[in-house]
Structure 1
Amino acid sequence: MASIITPSISAPPDWARRFHADGYLVLPDALAPDEVQHLRDEALRICRGERGRVAGLRPAGPTDDDEEVIRRHACVHFPHKLSRPVHDMLAHPAIVAVLTAVVGPNVKAMQSMLFTKGEGRPGQAWHQDEFFIPTRDRSLTAAWIALDDATVDNGCLWVLPGSHRPGVIYPDREHDDARFDCTSEAYDFPYRDADAVPVPVRAGSIVVFNGYLLHRSLPNRVPRGLRRALVNHYMSAESLLPWFTPPAGTHIGKWDYRDVVMVAGRDPYAYKGCPDLSEPLIRPDRDGGCAR
Structure 2
Amino acid sequence: MTKLSQAEIDAFHRDGYYAPVDVFGVDEARRWRADLEAFERTLPPGPVSAGNRRKLHVRCPWARDLVEDPRLLDVMESLLGPDILVFTSTFFIKEPNTDAITAWHQDATYFGLSPYEHVTAWVALSEASIEAGCMEFIPGSHRWGQLAHGRETLPGAINAGARSISQPIDTSTAIFAPIGTGQVSLHHTLIAHNSPPNRSNDRRIGFGISYIPAHLRHGGSRRMSATLVRGVDRHGHFDLEDDPRTLSAAAQAEAHERAYATYRECHAEQQARYGVLG
* Normalised-by-shorter TM-score class: 0.7 to 0.9
RMSD: 2.8
Residue 218 of structure 1, CA deviation: 1.3
- The answer to whether residue 262 in structure 2 is matched with residue 262 in structure 1 is no
Q: TM-score, normalised by structure 2?
A: 0.79
Cα offset for 1:235?
A: 1.1
Larger proportion of helix = 2
Identity among equivalent pairs (%): 21
1:196 corresponds to which of 171, 174, 190:
174
- Per-residue deviation at 1:159? 0.6
2:259 aligned with 1:278: yes
- Given the superposition, is the C-alpha separation of residues 26 and 92 from structure 1 closer, same or farther in structure 2, using an over 3 Å criterion? farther
Q: CA deviation at 1:271?
A: 9.4
Q: Is the 8 A contact 1:42 1:83 kept in 2?
A: no
What is the letter of the counterpart of residue 58 of structure 1? P
**Structure 1 stretch 271-280 or stretch 234-243: which is displaced more?**
271-280
Residues 272 and 178 (structure 1), Cα distance of their counterparts in 2 relative to 1, 3 Å cut:
closer
Residues 32 and 169 of structure 1, relative CA distance in 2, 3 Å threshold:
same
Cα separation, partners in 2 of 1:105 and 1:202, compared to 1, 3 Å: same
- In the alignment, is residue 106 of structure 1 matched against residue 87 of structure 2? no
2:44 is equivalent to residue 58 of structure 1: yes
CA contact (8 A) 2:218 2:237 kept: no
CA contact (8 A) 1:170 1:189 kept: no
User: Aligned pair in 2 of structure 1 residues 272, 73: CA closer, same or farther (>3 Å)?
Assistant: closer
Given that residues 74 and 121 in structure 1 are in contact (C-alpha distance below 8 angstroms), is that contact kept between their aligned partners in structure 2?
no
Any conservation in 1 of the 2:84–2:211 contact (CA below 8 Å)?
yes
- Structure 1 residue runs of 4+, over 6 Å off? none
2:72 aligned partner, one-letter code: I
**In the alignment, structure 1 residue 184 sits paired with structure 2 residue 149:** no
Task: Assess, with a 3 A threshold, how the Cα gap between structure 1 residues 32 and 47 changes in structure 2: closer, same or farther.
Answer: same
Give the drift of 1:121: 4.4
Q: For 2:39 and 2:10, how far apart are their aligned partners in 1?
A: 37
User: Does residue 14 of the first structure (1) align with residue 15 of the second (2)?
Assistant: no
Q: 1:35 is matched with which residue?
A: 28
Match of 2:60 among 73, 76, 83: 83
- Counterpart CA distance in 2 for 1:227 and 1:271 is 35
Mapped to 2, the partners of 1:232 and 1:225 lie a distance apart of 22
Conserved? CA contact 2:87–2:226, under 8 Å: yes
Conservation of the 8 A alpha-carbon contact between 1:180 and 1:219: no
| 2:108 partner letter | E
**Residues 89 and 217 from structure 1, CA distance in 2 versus in 1: closer, same or farther, beyond 3 angstroms?**
same
Spell out the pairing of 1:112-131 with structure 2 (5 A cutoff): 112-119=89-96, 120-131=98-109
Amino acid at match of 1:213: I
* Counterparts in 2 of 1:28 and 1:273: CA distance versus 1, 3 Å: closer
Report the Cα distance in structure 1 between the residues aligned to 2:19 and 2:148, rounded to whole angstroms.
28
| Counterpart in the other structure of 2:110 | 132
Unmatched runs of 5 consecutive residues or more in structure 2: 242-254, 265-276
For residues 227-277 of structure 1, the C-alpha deviation after alignment (integer angstroms, 9 at most, x for no partner) is 01111101110122235x42xxxxxxxxx41x2111222201359752543
Distance 1:195 1:187, change over 3 A: farther
SS in 1 for 2:13: helix
Native 8 Å contact 1:29 1:202 kept in 2: no
CA contact (8 A) 1:46 1:79 kept: no
Closer, same or farther in 2 for the Cα pair 1:195/1:27, shift >3 Å? closer
Report how many residues are paired.
Answer: 246
Give how far 1:82 is off. Answer: 2.4
Q: State the match for 1:151 in structure 2.
A: 129
Contact kept? 1:156, 1:218, Cα under 8 Å: yes
* Matching residue of 2:73: 96
Aligned mate of 2:19, from 19, 26, 50: 26
Q: Is the 8 A contact 2:20 2:179 kept in 1?
A: no
Structure 1 residues 228 and 42: CA distance shift in structure 2, 3 A: same
Q: 1:74 to 1:209 in 2, by over 3 A?
A: farther
Residue 125 (structure 1) shift: 0.6
